[in-house]
């Protein structure tokens, strides 16, 4: 055991002192914090106000299109031809042309601009004119606008999902948030297993080709060397992941009291715009309706999740899944002399991991299906599939069975890999096939 500890220490210290490890440990949290901070920061920035010249030949919308903080409408009493001629000498950013036959089926409203307008401005103009035209047509045909509007408003419902426990208590859930956490956890495990598993394979291959391993095996058993390398690199990966989590939280906390200090996530509100029109086309002012912001709603739902359990399970499946695949990657590294030869052996080994990521898309649609159950139990696919299922709630016995089988799977693959490793690590200059590796499994120590 002392020998394995020495090998683990050597592998760990050698890798955490590398510049690549330090750089990635710093860059990773910055990128993750940026993904969370930048969208919020951008939403706080005021869009430069655009001046829009409205040429309304239908005379239906004159002085009626609602102004916004980022857009201002002006209605000069000039023709469209004149507006075009003086456009580049004016202070307007765009011309909004509404034809006179718009009520007779002319649905083309043109927006001429000097410089590309933002998507939000184009969408605002299009949606606002459409809403106003809807009300105009209803009023023209003497339809009670208020009755239709009340029916539309009163028929809109938000479906809130709650999980009802056997005790009779219910807990609010958010399927979209569960999907994001599940897929996010599965992707991270998928990436980490590949990233650090390949590091094990390359490390073994480098020691083999440089003949350093021959010196090491004079005082260390092949199994001890393989296990020391696998566990050492696992600890490197775990260290980097935990540093990413803590540094990301720290960066976000700093940003919350500096860049985002003007945002109170529990008090952010958004305006729902309601446009009213009478039979005489006399539009009323926009009505402000207070409604919780999407960010607030998601944050409240996030607090209801047992994030501690999910985090602990993530660490387990990350380590156990890595150890399972790393043993096989180590066996591949010991069997070949160069990276080109690894391709024929890597594909069969990584197919279950790739397949688990593919079927995760289907599992997330029905986390309690038979397919979801079996693939979250099978050791080769359980690290990804179980992470996808966890946010939706998994019975304790299924979770325990999955973990137990994953541990057994790791022990079995390590035993197989050790048999390949002890022979392959000293095999040079020979093209290895699956048949040859099969023979190694029956060699006696």
Closest CA to 381 of 398, 362, 358, 397: 358
- The pLDDT score that the predictor gives to residue 39 is 65
> Strands, E, within 65-145: which ranges?
71-74, 94-98, 110-113
Q: What is the pLDDT of residue 173?
A: 65
Spatial separation of the C-alpha atoms in residues 133 and 193, rounded to whole Å: 56
For the chain, 445 residues long, the average pLDDT of each consecutive 10-residue run is: 79 84 83 72 63 84 79 86 86 85 71 77 81 76 71 61 64 72 85 83 77 69 79 84 83 71 45 34 38 52 72 89 87 78 79 86 84 91 90 88 92 84 73 76 68
Q: Give 284: exposed, middle or buried? Use CB within 10 Å, 0-12, 13-18, 19+.
A: exposed
Q: Say if strands 269-271 and 290-292 run parallel, antiparallel, or are unpaired.
A: antiparallel
User: What residues contact residue 366 under an 8 Å CB cut-off, 6+ apart?
Assistant: 372
- pLDDT for 403 equals 93
- On whether the CB atoms of residues 228 and 11 are closer than 8 A, the answer is yes
The CATH number corresponding to 50-146 among 3.40.190.10, 3.50.50.60, 3.40.640.10, 3.40.50.920 equals 3.40.190.10
CA distance 32 to 9: 29
For residues 437 and 335, is the Cβ–Cβ distance under 8 A?
Answer: yes
What lies within 8 Å, CB to CB, of 435 at 6+ separation is none
Coil/strand/helix, residue 326: helix
User: Which residue shows structure tokens 């591949």?
Assistant: 332
Distances (CA, A) of 70 to 100, 109, 132, 333: 27, 21, 20, 60
CA dihedral in degrees (103, 104, 108, 113; nearest 10)?
-50
Q: What is the pLDDT of residue 107?
A: 59
Q: Is 429 left (phi over 0), alpha (psi -120 to 50) or beta?
A: left
| Residue 115 DSSP class | S
Phi–psi pair at 56, nearest 5 degrees = -105, 95
- CB count within 10 Å of CB 282 equals 10
Residues 6+ apart with CB under 8 A from 31: none
Distance CA 64, CA 285 (A): 9
Q: Which residue has the tokens 């490890």?
A: 21
Q: Which alpha helices (H) appear in 86-172, and where do they start and end? A: 119-140, 145-154
Give SS3 for 174.
coil
Q: Where, residue-wise, is CATH 3.40.190.10 in the chain?
A: 50-146
Q: Which pair of tokens denotes residue 400? A: 């325990």
The backbone torsions φ and ψ at residue 219, rounded to the nearest 5 degrees and listed phi first, read -130, 0
Q: Among 373, 376, 388, which residue's Cα sits nearest to residue 352?
A: 376
**205 neighbors 336 (Cβ within 8 angstroms):** yes
CA distances (Å), 26 to each of 31, 110, 432, in order? 9, 49, 40
- Residue 107 has phi, psi (to 5 degrees) of -100, 5
Q: What is the pLDDT of residue 185?
A: 84
């Amino acid at each position: 055991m002392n020998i394995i500890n020495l090998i683990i220490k050597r592998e760990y210290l050698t890798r955490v002192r590398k510049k690549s490890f330090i750089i990635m440990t710093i860059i990773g949290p910055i990128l993750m914090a940026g993904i969370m901070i930048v969208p919020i920061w951008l939403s706080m920035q005021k869009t430069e106000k655009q001046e829009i010249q409205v040429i309304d030949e239908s005379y239906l919308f004159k002085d009626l299109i609602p102004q916004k903080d980022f857009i201002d409408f002006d209605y000069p009493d000039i023709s469209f031809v004149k507006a075009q001629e003086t456009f580049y000498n004016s202070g307007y950013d765009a011309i909004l042309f509404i034809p006179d036959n718009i009520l007779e089926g002319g649905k083309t409203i043109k927006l001429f601009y000097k410089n590309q307008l933002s998507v939000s401005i184009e969408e605002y103009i299009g949606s606002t004119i459409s809403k106003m035209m809807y009300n105009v047509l209803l009023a023209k045909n003497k339809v009670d606008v208020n009755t239709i509007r009340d029916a539309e408003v009163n028929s809109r419902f938000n479906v809130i999902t709650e999980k009802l426990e056997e005790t009779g208590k219910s807990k609010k859930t958010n399927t979209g948030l569960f999907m994001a956490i599940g897929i996010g956890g599965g992707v991270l495990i998928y990436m980490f297993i590949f990233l650090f598993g390949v590091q094990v394979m390359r490390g073994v291959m480098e020691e083999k080709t440089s003949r350093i391993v021959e010196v090491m095996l004079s005082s260390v058993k092949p199994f001890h060397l393989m296990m020391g390398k696998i566990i050492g690199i696992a600890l490197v990966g775990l260290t980097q992941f935990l540093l990413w989590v803590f540094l990301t939280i720290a960066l976000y906390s700093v940003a919350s009291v500096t860049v985002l200090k003007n945002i109170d996530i529990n008090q952010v509100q958004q305006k729902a715009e309601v446009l009213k029109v009478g039979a005489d086309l006399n539009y009323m002012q926009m009505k402000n309706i207070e409604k919780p912001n999407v960010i607030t709603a998601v944050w409240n739902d996030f607090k209801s999740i047992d994030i501690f359990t999910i985090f602990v399970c993530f660490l387990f499946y990350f380590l156990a899944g890595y150890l399972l695949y790393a043993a096989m990657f180590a066996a591949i590294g010991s069997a070949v002399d160069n990276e080109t030869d690894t391709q024929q052996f890597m594909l069969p080994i990584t197919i279950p991991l790739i397949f688990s990521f593919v079927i995760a898309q289907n599992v997330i649609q029905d986390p309690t299906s038979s397919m979801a159950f079996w693939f979250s139990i099978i050791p080769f696919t359980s690290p990804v599939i179980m992470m996808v299922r966890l946010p939706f709630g998994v019975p304790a016995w299924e979770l325990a069975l999955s973990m137990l089988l994953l541990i057994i799977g790791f022990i079995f693959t390590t035993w197989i890999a050790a048999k390949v490793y002890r022979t392959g690590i000293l095999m040079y200059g020979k093209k290895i096939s699956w048949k040859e590796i099969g023979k190694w499994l029956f060699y006696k120590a």
